[in-house]
Amino acid sequence: MAQATVEEIYKKHGHVVLRRARALLGTDADAREVVQDLFASLVARPEQFGDRSAVTTWLYSATTHLCLNRIRDARSRTRLLDERGAPTSDTGGGRPAEDLVLVRQLLARLPEDLATAAVYFHVDEMTHEEVARVMRCSRRHVGDLLKRLDAWAREETACTPS
């Protein structure tokens, strides 16, 4: 992939990457860092795209991966919780900010494959087939991941005092 191609991809799809990162991370600053990291990585190692899928599919998957890694980072997680404190306003999507902080905390504790499947299925409301295509796995594997996610959530609920 040539430098000019990365620039074209950024101009055409950068806003989509930013919107995705902002939705997962909750802050514009963190989202902009992910956009920068993603496109800098693509400039440095263009072979990572490899034309194995549509560029939008690759960007979507890579953005989700970077965001989940950022969420898992303990320092970022602590800073995010400190910044959010005890929010009371809506985030614009109809979900209270407290719910988004809780979701980010849960995602940080999940194994990467479960967190990724959870975001695609529950947040993005993708079908099993769509999740499988983005994650490059079988629909059966997606079903297995979602069953493991449900079991994990039940265990977490059972362990959490009311």
SS (H, E, C) the chain: CCHHHHHHHHHHHHHHHHHHHHHHHCCHHHHHHHHHHHHHHHHHCHHHCCCCCCHHHHHHHHHHHHHHHHHHCHHHHHHHHHHHCCCCCECCCCCEHHHHHHHHHHHHHCCHHHHHHHHHHHHCCCCHHHHHHHHCCCHHHHHHHHHHHHHHHHHHHHHCCC
Per-residue tokens: 52: 């194995």
Higher pLDDT pick, 94 / 34: 34
Token pair, residue 114, equals 């479960």
Give ∠ CA 157-160-162 in degrees, rounded to 5: 100
Four-point Cα dihedral 75, 153, 145, 116, nearest 10: -30
Please state which architecture CATH assigns to domain 1-91: Orthogonal Bundle (1.10)
pTM: 0.65
Residue 146 confidence (pLDDT): 93
What is the structure's pLDDT at 32?
95
pLDDT on residue 162: 53
pLDDT score at 53: 75
pLDDT on residue 161? 61
Domain boundaries, given as residue ranges, for the chain: 1-91, 110-162
CATH 1.10.4030 fits 110-162, yes or no: no
Model confidence at 100: pLDDT above 80 = no
Supply the pLDDT for residue 82.
63
pLDDT tens by residue, 111-162: 889 989 988 988 888 899 989 988 889 999 999 999 999 898 888 777 766 5
Q: What is the tens place of the pLDDT at every residue in 21-68?
A: 999 988 899 999 999 999 999 888 888 877 777 888 889 999 999 999
